[in-house]
Structure 1
């Protein structure tokens, strides 16, 4: 059973763990321990040992108590955590697991959140986006830029990971929502799509089920528009693409089109 989890600094000397909770389990001062190092996964597992020839748990005396100390000064331990920014320590009843982590670079959405926080002031907190909008907290999408951004000349595949907003506080004022909602809507996320020659929505439905947001659709056939509106949504317009006011078409980073009638070819 996991008793405690915390972060620790990476030391140039080795692994130094000092925690009162060790006193309550098998790592009491004077007891012995051994450890196993997995350099590939940057992990160390510390286990209790009955052999007196193994390492000994030392202690640090405080005013009213004693803290057990596990001090591992081993080249193998240093090598295992080389290049790590911090360590995560997990203390269980019979073992301690130490794993190294590298801090990831800030994602685009984290940068947006920090900027928004500065613009809205200190009183307004950035909260979990799922508390504001009906979206999933995390999404991964794979886009073929050869197909979707051919005009930009970007080839190949790129995986995008979206980490969407982050705070332990859930409170947010209505006035803050009025600022955040348009700001999010104006983010040019490749999940937004405009659809032409939409028909009854068979193609658009596939995009919707794949996580895309179809924000505009246009179809000439009135009956097909009724079917689309009933099954998918009211964002579809009935009109002739050759006569339709282009300024009415909602801007989106992506535009898709079904197979048009022969007279449009």
Structure 2
């Protein structure tokens, strides 16, 4: 049981940075890269939700602290807190200066946070809910620590609504990425989580639930910048586990290499789903 007899809700057990492509160090680099790619787009959506003066913001599942530090820079005078269950990632958050810039960092699970009721004005959780076996229960916990009128913002992806590519990539890579989604489901996650999030937040007790999509393109950032997110190399740990066959992997990699060689165009979609307490 958690604080005050609350049941402990399992967090993102399916995500282990050590098990991602290249191990812990390369995964930290990918997280840094992802924040650099998407945070400006996310922040345009989220900035109106943040407290104008003072108040408190939680980055729930803060990882290496890239976004925690960015929020700290954007909101002087606001208490900014990062929470993560992985000690190594929190060490990296400290090393990159998130704490030195005034953010507070806590070790803990977003399903059983160490915070009192009604602590924060905005709780943000980025790319975490796709890994949760019990997203409604976690959303309830995050709602508990919101002040009345505060916002819960969940940013995530949907593998079925990921974006578009020209020329089309889907026919040659569908088999491999279907296996990728199945492996994440077996670990308790959901690669289609974005389409479920409005009902997840409503079931948790949020009001005024809205979906706020954002998009960015390869022409803005360069196709090479998207490789850490899109390249089939990310599937290699699943090939090693036997979750994806080598034939499917090779087919997906061949499609990606041909796409890059043809100077393909990608439009990527993300979703911020927001509710209020």
TM-score scaled by length of structure 2: 0.22
Larger Rg: 1
Higher strand share: 1
**Structure with higher RCO (Cα < 8 A, 6+ apart):** 2
> Higher helix fraction: Structure 1 or Structure 2?
2
Normalized against structure 1, the TM-score is what?
Answer: 0.23
